[in-house]
Amino acid sequence: MVLLRPLVLLLALVVSDLHCLPWFINVSESQGPGTILQSFSFNCSSHTPTLELLHVQPPTTFFNPPSLTRWQGIYVGKMTLSSSARLDALTVNHYELQLRFTCGNHVMEGPLSVDVQRDPGRIQCAGRFASPAGEIIQVPETVTPGTRLYTLLLPGQGAQMSITSAQDPPYFPGPFSINGQGWLQAPSQGLKGQAQKVFQLQILVTFGQGRSCCGTLTVKVLPAPSSQVSFLQQAQNITIPENLVPGSKVVQVQARGFNVRYEILSPVPCRLFSIGRVDGVVRTTSPLELAQAPDAAVTRLRVKAFERLRPWASAELDFRVDVQSVNRWPPRCTPALLVTQIPETTPVGTVLNTFTCTDPDSPGSTLDYQLLFHSPAGAASLCLQDRVLEVNATLDCDTPGACFHHAASILVLDSGQPLMTTEVPVLVMVTPVNEFSPACVPRTFRVREDAGPHALLGSVVGKDMDYPHDSIEYSTPGGSATFAVDRLSGEVRLLGPLDYELQKLHRLTVLLTDHSQDQDPTCHRSGSCTITIEVEDVNDHAPECEPPFQELTIHTHLGRSMEVTRVSCQVPQEPQRLAFSYSIVGGNSRSQFSLQGAVLVHNDLMLGPSWPEQPHTYELLIRVADAGPSTPHLSTTATVIVHLVPWRASTVATSTHRATVTSMMTPLLVTDTEAFWQPEPWFVVVLTVTSALLLLALGWLLSRLLRGLAQVLQAPSKSTQALLLNSIQGTEGSVERFMEAPRMETPQAPSSVMSLQHFDGRAQDPRTGRDYLFNTHTGARRWL
């Protein structure tokens, strides 16, 4: 039966507990009393449930007992912080809370892990150093000068520490010091001769923005340890049972001394026992089976204790360990393991198996049978009648944890001393049936027309009442070139570009297919829903002005305003967009020009000697931006060059006129900037090589064409006649044999050999497959 125990442990690992409650939450250390840590809901319709906090590890009073309230037929539990809660991530950053939920005979237990996170905005001194009592450390008087005695937990980066309390002699042998890493160091003079003294230090910790905290650190100096080592207990006899597992504690020996270590002197090597080098705990190292190892009944041990720094200071202790035999044989059962599979439609009362068990130590004795549920805990789907395992309730695979695997064990107890038990693992697997079709709710997504590829539009959320819930795959019938649906998550993403002007509304049919919900993997159910995608208009075309460049010459009149030109702009891709804003962004150095909508106006209101007498040129930059509700607002810039000629009176005819003419004939420098394209050097090389290859190919092709044309136009010569006649006969002979050919063909063609030159073509008859010559002008044929 000992061999069955590893099998039982293996099944306990394979069959997981479906009703365990592994919650993991993070909470900031700045959270105060009353903060809700976790909310969870339970279904319990036939009983009044309870929710209990069993224990907290490490022990603390920071957590209130959980509350449980009923809301719309569901019980909602909450975990909150108590009024004494003072979370500190540097002190304790993890708590383990064990919760128990009870609904009638149904009991669930599970841990709630609470991780305390640091709050950068809440900096304070941590540890017992900051408590009212302060931190107390003990150091020997033989400590080396400058040795690190204590490490202060820093509240954050850049903290500065200093000792504010007085360290005046003669009580202090020298000042203690603390560095930037929080290390408290012994005085440079050491602590020799300061035994039994107590030094109290006040330490101030300051960090940025004027924040600080302080704490107390008390240093107790201990006398130098004694050099004599001795055991606290005398020799003794120890009795242990033979069924102790390896690693079990036998006894702990303790010796008096400084930094004592322990070892076994005899027997060496010691096969059955070992001793902790630091704690002196003697433990078993192998099974103490007296049937296999009779010499394990009595073992005499000799243990040595010695100081680590001075091994010669030691003491020895002898004691005996007696191993006592016990009732070792648990009951044996048939079958030793039950694994069965039943459909969820199995009727109540169906017998799954009958167990037969016997006690090797006492054949014929009465055994006690108990049914223990492991997964789900406290399930009522199975029952044990004497030794018969039966189905006790209707099985439902559509409820989480109620189907698929029912892990239990049959506990068999004998009546011996000590009490021996046997567990028969039971694993009942219930096969599901796919009963419901998946469904989803039609949804509408909105997307900007300038959204990039793979943009997430939303998710299709499918629901399936079969367990496991929502085991759904998503697809689009026939596929879509613009949208794609993720097969597993149902996320709808954009594949291609959108254009609000071409199509404002898209409808996408999403097909939902369930899987893994039936014993037959090929059994699927499907459903569908329609997703509407609305395209939001985005201003993606800048206005264009016609012409984009204007050059005008105007004659101004003193004190008058005049219209220069009108800027005409539009969006060719969106002709309905007509609202534009106009502004002069450059060239209006003297503020003589203004815009009245799209009209450029010159304002010549300058009077007195400052009025210009010579022509002047203005290069105006006019920014045209769309002003509609769509965003973003795009713009373009139109250029208007205005040659401004001031007004002149017609009566000027003196020498002044000549001066004026001369001044007006002053050359005007006009800069014309011409844009040109300068390619990269590699592009020029590639283009040159490609052009050269193309020219060579064209020359070769032209030469072939000219050569073929010359052959066609050339008159047939004697050699040509000979070659033609040779092809008629289908042989390759000498010139004499070639000259005999006309005589052989005389019955069919009475004409001479030279008449062959009239046949200027050769072809093959499609019906008979024979070759023949033909004349393109007369149509005459001659068979070969």
pLDDT tens for each residue of 739-762: 333 333 333 434 433 344 467 778
- Exposure string of 495-507, with b = 16+ CB inside 10 Å and e = fewer, is eeebebeeeeebe
Q: What is the pLDDT of residues 253-263, one digit of tens each?
A: 999 888 899 99
Q: What's the pLDDT score for residue 742?
A: 37
For the stretch 327-349, pLDDT in tens is 778 899 999 999 998 888 788 88
Report the C-alpha gap between 308 and 244 in whole angstroms: 32
Percent of the chain scoring above 70 in pLDDT: 81
pLDDT of residue 20: 39
Q: Which residues, including other chains, have CB under 8 Å from residue 287's CB and lie 6 or more apart?
A: 245, 246
pTM of the model: 0.33
User: Does the pLDDT of residue 365 top 90, yes or no?
Assistant: no
Position 250 confidence tier, pLDDT thresholds 50, 70, 90: very high
> Token pair 């202060």 is at which residue?
152
Query: What pLDDT score was predicted for residue 256?
Result: 87
Q: Pick 77 or 160 by higher pLDDT.
A: 77
pLDDT at 420 over 70: yes
Report the pLDDT value the prediction gives residue 701, as an integer from 0 to 100.
92
What average pLDDT does the segment 469-495 reach?
88
Q: Is the pLDDT of residue 273 over 90?
A: yes
pLDDT of 289 higher than 90: no
Q: How far apart are CA 329 and CA 732, in angstroms?
A: 110
Weakest mean pLDDT among 59-63, 273-277, 768-772: 768-772
Return the ∠ at Cα 68 (arms to 63 and 72), rounded to 5°. 145
Flag the least confident range among 178-182, 281-285, 483-487, 722-726.
722-726
Report the DSSP pairing between strands 635-645 and 549-555: parallel
Strands 491-494 and 483-485: antiparallel
| 3-state class percentages of the chain: helix first, strand second, coil last, to nearest 5 | 10, 40, 50
Candidate from 120-124, 629-633, 647-651, 764-768 with smallest mean pLDDT? 647-651
The sign of the torsion formed by the CA atoms of 676, 680, 683, 685 equals positive
Per-residue pLDDT for 729 more than 50? Answer: no
Classify residue 235 as exposed, middle or buried by CB count within 10 Å of its CB (0-12, 13-18, 19+).
exposed
Give the sign of the dihedral formed by CA 755, CA 759, CA 760, CA 764: negative
Q: Provide the mean pLDDT of the chain.
A: 79
Handedness of CA 460, 466, 468, 474 (dihedral sign): negative
Residue 656 reports pLDDT greater than 50 = no
